[in-house]
Amino acid sequence: MTELRVGSVSVPQDSHNLLTDLVYDKNKSEEDRPFSAIVEAFRFAFALGYASNKRGKRVGAGITVAPRQFVVSDYEVLFREICIEEDISLGALCSDFAQGGCEIIKAHLERGGTVLELL
């Protein structure tokens, strides 16, 4: 039996930029920036991707996102079987769901929607 690997979470540069642009900035208070930290935006993208059953394909070098604040081992009960079956780490699977969520957010924003509409 294959061992479960923990791994870490990351997103490609373009998704990292998207998540960063969703973090509140007092100098841009009129913009749609509902999160107080990038890890909150990442968590939202992950939850959106998971709830929509959308896993995105991460292309290019990954940028790590708050490994101490998004603890992938918390999701072991949900994802153990998938990770072992697909031979990927928990971090990779969580990252794939977050990337899927980023793709949903990006498409929604491009259509003129807001992040809050995705709740």
The 3-state secondary structure of 3-64, one letter per residue: CCCCCCCEEEHHHHHHHHCCECCHHHCCCCCCECCHHHHHHHHHHHHHHCCCCCCCCCCEEE
Kindly report the pTM of this predicted structure.
0.92
The predicted pLDDT at position 61 comes to 81
The answer to whether 117 touches 32, Cβ cutoff 8 Å, is no
Nearest-5° Cα angle at 112, 36 to 24: 15
Rounded CA gap, 101 and 82, in Å? 19
Closest CA to 65 of 36, 80, 43, 47: 43
The predicted pLDDT at position 59 comes to 84
**Which residue's structure tokens are 């930290």?**
37
Reduced to 3 states, what is the DSSP secondary structure of residue 108?
Answer: helix
The predicted pLDDT at position 58 comes to 84
The predicted pLDDT at position 29 comes to 87
The predicted pLDDT at position 57 comes to 87
The predicted pLDDT at position 17 comes to 95
Instruction: Give me the phi and psi of 88, to 5 degrees please.
Output: -130, 160
Q: For residue 10, what are its two tokens?
A: 């990351």
Per-residue pLDDT of the chain (119 residues; tens, 9 = 90+): 468 999 989 999 999 999 999 999 999 988 899 999 999 999 999 999 999 999 998 888 888 887 788 899 999 999 999 999 999 999 999 999 999 999 999 999 999 999 999 98
The predicted pLDDT at position 113 comes to 96
Query: Which sequence spans correspond to the domains of the chain?
Result: 10-112
The predicted pLDDT at position 66 comes to 76
